[in-house]
Amino acid sequence: MIAPVGVASCWIDPIKTHLETGWLPDDAQEARKLSVRALRYSLIEGLLYKRSFVILYLKCLRPLEVEEALKEAHEGICGKHLGGRALAHKITRCQRHAPIVRQPPERLTSINTPIPFAMWGMDILGPFDVV
């Protein structure tokens, strides 16, 4: 796995190499992680893009490119006329996020009675006076 000349290696390189040549690490566990992770990415004209549900493709940036993109978003043509919310939305597209855990923190337990509140009663109005 060789990084391009003059560019430090980062997380993009193994995924890009795998998509270009099918390369996998020697460690079986790391190879499986890389192949599963690479399924979320596409290589288009030599550039790595992450597939997204909301936006079609998100361009993967190296650390130096991220600094330049954030600088352009804050001080460049984008930062002068965008409001706070729109600028924040543009910047979050540049960030890399961890996957969302959709499992509950504890094991789910079932309720023993099918209608849990059927055994309880409430007297809201009190006793009625019979005349």
CA distance linking residue 82 with residue 15, whole number of Å = 34
- The answer for residues whose C-beta is within 8 angstroms of residue 7's C-beta and 6 or more apart is 62, 64
CA distance linking residue 109 with residue 103, whole number of Å = 14
pLDDT tens track of the chain, all 131 residues?
454 555 678 889 999 999 999 999 999 999 999 999 999 999 988 889 988 777 778 888 888 887 787 777 777 665 566 666 776 676 666 655 556 667 777 777 776 665 655 666 666 677 777 76
8-state DSSP, 106: S
pLDDT of residue 32: 93
Torsion of CA 9, 15, 17, 22, to 10 degrees: 160
Q: Look at residue 48 and give its three-state secondary structure.
A: strand
Domain residue extents for the chain: 10-50, 61-96
- The answer for residues whose C-beta is within 8 angstroms of residue 113's C-beta and 6 or more apart is 119
